[in-house]
Amino acid sequence: MALNVHQQRLRDGQTVIAVNLGGRNPDVMGVLASAGAHVAFVDCERSGIGLDAATDLIRAARVAGLSPMVRSWSRDPAVLVQYLDRQADGLIVPHIDTAQDAADAVEVVRYACGDKAGDKTVIVQIETAQAVKNLDAIIAVPGVDAFLIGPNDLAYSLIGKRGARTPEVLTVVDEVCSRLKGAGRRFGMPANWDQLERFQAQGATFLYFPIEWLLERALGDLTARLGLR
């Protein structure tokens, strides 16, 4: 299956909106696509959905015109291959700490997809102090399309408090952004409303939104307009 327009958009460095579906929600695909989303972020790491649910979401995303990409709960090749076999456009691979971890993820795609491997998107997550230490080597791995910075887990790895926004954590996030941008690599992170302008100034083009953030924003605007808050 050929590279689709949204995958190409990511490779070209254009802004890509990825929405984490938050579970088994195939009926939202059409609305997300018509509202301007590009990627259906099928989250098998944090939402607890299994392979059958992921398959349904991949198919629904394709029908709606979104690019389905799966975040696996494991880096195990036997697990990753199953998502590729079910026609995910790409993988978001967590817990990438070394260049070998990144190379292993790329190799899984080559193994599973053969000559069509170039039509798949590989995104690796940078979310630990070890990954930051090894970032230059990870950046140099061929076949990685983009990097997803995980500031919450990175904060936990750095100071033992998930989600903390201390000067130390922010400095490290800025450093990672600067190094990725300087290397000409595509990257992104969770796109909190108040941080969007800063993220884009840092060079982030892969903007990741949990669906609950979108609902909270919309309902907040609605209740404010109705004078309910």
Q: H/E/C letters for each residue in the chain? A: CCCCHHHHHHHCCCCEEEEECCCCCHHHHHHHHHHCCCEEEEECCCCCCCHHHHHHHHHHHHHHCCEEEEECCCCCHHHHHHHHHCCCCEEEECCCCCHHHHHHHHHHHHHHHHHHHHHCEEEEEECCHHHHHCHHHHHCCCCCCEEEECHHHHHHHHHCCCCCCCHHHHHHHHHHHHHHHHCCCEEEEECCHHHHHHHHHHCCCEEEEEHHHHHHHHHHHHHHHCCCC
Q: Is residue 219 scored above 90 in pLDDT? A: yes
Hey, what amino acid is at 10? L
Q: What is the pLDDT of residue 1?
A: 59
Tell me how far apart the alpha carbons of residues 135 and 163 are, in angstroms, rounded to a whole number: 21
Enter the DSSP assignment of 65: T
CATH of domain 5-225: 3.20.20.60
Assign 151 a pLDDT band (cuts: 50, 70, 90).
confident
Q: What is the pLDDT of residue 115?
A: 93
Instruction: Report the sign of the C-alpha dihedral through residues 7, 182, 142, 130, in that order.
Output: negative
Q: Could you read off the pLDDT of 126-137 as tens digits, one per residue? A: 999 999 999 999
Assign 161 a pLDDT band (cuts: 50, 70, 90).
confident
Q: What is the pLDDT of residue 192?
A: 83
Q: Could you read off the pLDDT of 43-91 as tens digits, one per residue? A: 999 888 999 999 999 999 999 999 999 999 999 999 999 999 999 999 9
Range in 79-83, 147-151, 166-170 with the lowest mean pLDDT: 166-170
